[in-house]
């Protein structure tokens, strides 16, 4: 092989096995094009998928939002319309209520309210209810919060058993307890507790304690234990730690369960009807039932509507004042 042939061989190899400079220049562009196409396709597919998913979720959320708002509107009408009807009927006379029940009053009959308060003894029934419910709510909150704090913060034999006994108390319908309660109060050692304020207060406390302990136990478990430990290190006793440290921290839960107890005890009808049969100690629910029975003879429907408003106003006022505290108390355990 001559020297010229040896010099020409690398050139042949270059032509056959390696890309030429022009091909080397073209291929990066083609590779960039392929890479850009793939990247654009993937990015477009992902963006389109995400956009479609978001649009689908937004549409689904819009449907649920419309449905939930519709349910709320229907519920508001079911609650608000009867309330407004009782309100404007309380200012109409009996003839106006019977002939035009849905019409607004043309003349405001304020005497309906005075008749209900004085003649129908709604004033006395209101005072009786305030005494019984006030005492029972305070007793329920004090005893229930103390029991809940012990069950939530201390470990001792029988802790869970006692807790589940309170929980089981919520499962018993009040109809099963009426007859035993009647005999317990009638045969109470010393003197009968039937038709007495303190007898009815004790029954209301026992009736409301299970749910109060159940609710407050869960709430006390959400409070930081380090605060109570710091108070104990500073020399505070268990009693002082509870009343001055832990109880103020549980204020949202106390207000929430206090409102629930107030509503349930204010509207209680079966227990006072069986256990409180003395007319001068009737509560509002008993007084309204007696007024309703008397309408067949006296035909004073305006006074009945005014009496119903007198019974409902304290509940509406209390809930309207403390509604924010009720909501914060119900969500406090989930937010901690």
The predicted-structure confidence for 52-86, as pLDDT tens digits, reads as follows 556 666 666 677 788 888 999 999 999 899 999 99
**Does position 333 have pLDDT exceeding 90, yes or no?**
no
Distance CA 15, CA 13 (A): 5
Taking CA 256 as the corner, what is the angle to CA 254 and CA 261, rounded to the nearest 5 degrees? 90
pLDDT in tens, 135-169: 999 999 999 999 999 999 999 999 999 999 999 99
Tell me the C-alpha to C-alpha distance, in Å, between residue 115 and each of 59, 98, 282, 304.
Answer: 56, 19, 18, 9
CA-based torsion, 24, 30, 36, 39: positive or negative: negative
Q: What is the mean pLDDT of residues 38-65?
A: 60
DSSP-derived letter for residue 13 is H
Yes or no: say if 214 and 170 are a contact pair by the CB < 8 Å rule: yes
Distance CA 192, CA 194 (A): 6
- Neighbour tally for 119: CB within 10 Å: 13
The pLDDT, as a whole number, for residue 2 is 45
- Neighbour tally for 256: CB within 10 Å: 22
Yes or no: say if 197 and 135 are a contact pair by the CB < 8 Å rule: yes
pLDDT in tens, 253-278: 898 899 999 999 999 999 999 999 89
pLDDT in tens, 1-32: 444 444 444 444 444 444 555 444 445 545 54
Percent of the chain with pLDDT over 90: 53
Q: What is the mean pLDDT of residues 98-120?
A: 90
DSSP-derived letter for residue 104 is P
Distance CA 287, CA 120 (A): 8
DSSP-derived letter for residue 1 is -
Closest residue by Cα to residue 193 from 290, 262, 277:
277
Q: What is the mean pLDDT of residues 294-306?
A: 78
The pLDDT, as a whole number, for residue 98 is 87
């Amino acid at each position: 092989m001559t020297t010229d042939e040896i010099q020409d061989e690398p050139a042949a190899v270059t032509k056959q096995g390696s890309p030429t400079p022009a091909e080397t220049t073209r291929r990066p562009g083609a590779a960039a094009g392929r890479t850009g196409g793939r990247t654009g396709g993937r990015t477009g597919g992902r963006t389109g998928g995400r956009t479609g998913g978001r649009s689908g979720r937004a549409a689904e959320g819009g449907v649920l939002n419309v449905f939930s708002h519709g349910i709320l509107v229907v519920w508001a009408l079911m609650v608000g319309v009867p309330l407004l009807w009782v309100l404007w009927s309380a200012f109409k006379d009996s003839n106006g209520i019977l002939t035009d029940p849905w019409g607004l009053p043309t003349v405001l009959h304020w005497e309906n309210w005075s008749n209900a308060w004085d003649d129908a003894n709604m004033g006395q029934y209101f005072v009786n209810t305030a005494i019984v419910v006030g005492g029972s709510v305070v007793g329920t909150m004090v005893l229930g919060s103390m029991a809940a704090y012990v069950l939530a913060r201390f470990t001792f034999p029988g802790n869970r058993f006692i807790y589940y006994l309170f929980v089981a108390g919520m499962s018993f319908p009040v109809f099963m307890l009426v007859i035993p309660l009647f005999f317990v109060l009638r045969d109470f050692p010393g003197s009968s507790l039937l038709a007495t304020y303190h007898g009815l207060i004790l029954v209301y406390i026992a009736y409301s304690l299970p749910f109060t302990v159940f609710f407050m136990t869960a709430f006390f478990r959400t409070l930081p234990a380090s605060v109570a430990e710091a108070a104990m290190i500073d020399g505070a006793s268990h009693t002082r730690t509870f009343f001055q440290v832990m109880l103020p921290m549980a204020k949202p839960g106390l207000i929430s369960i206090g409102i629930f107890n107030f509503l349930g005890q204010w509207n209680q009808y079966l227990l006072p009807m069986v256990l409180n049969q003395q007319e001068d100690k009737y509560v509002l629910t008993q007084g309204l039932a007696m007024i309703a029975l008397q309408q067949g003879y006296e035909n004073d429907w305006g006074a009945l509507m005014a009496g119903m408003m007198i019974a409902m106003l304290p509940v509406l006022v209390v809930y309207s004042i403390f509604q924010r505290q009720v909501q914060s108390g119900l969500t406090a355990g989930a937010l901690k």
